[in-house]
Amino acid sequence: MPTQSFKEKVFRVVRGIRRGGVLTYQEVARRAGNPRAARAVGAVLRTNFNPAIPCHRVVRSNGALGGYNRGVGRKRFLLARERLSEL
């Protein structure tokens, strides 16, 4: 059985973030097996256009939203909508 690439591991971790929840780039990197690769997580997520991989649920360690390949305004909207639906 071939080993998963870092990209595949990142996508697996991000797929597991539940609606209304978030993880930091650093936490995704740690769970993907490389705790020092937070920037690499951002680079991987920038390539994602699969709606089944909710990369908008990944934020910076300082609480800031960080980037999003569909625009940070869209990221803000999606997170707000998910959090409101959880109430």
Tens of pLDDT along 41-51?
999 999 999 99
* 54 or 3, which is more confident: 54
Give the pLDDT band of residue 9 (cuts 50, 70, 90).
very high
Q: What is the pLDDT of residue 42?
A: 96
In the block, residue with structure tokens 């998963």: 4
Task: Please indicate whether residue 67 is annotated as part of the active site.
Answer: no
What pTM did the predictor assign? 0.91
Active-site option among 44, 53, 55, 79:
55
Is 87's pLDDT higher than 60?
Answer: no
All domains of the chain, ordered by start, with CATH? Answer: 6-86 (1.10.10.10)
Q: Which of 25, 28, 18, 24 is nearest to 85 (CA)?
A: 18
* Inter-residue contact 32 to 45 (CB < 8 Å): no
Query: HEC string of 14-27?
Result: HHCCCCCCCEEHHH
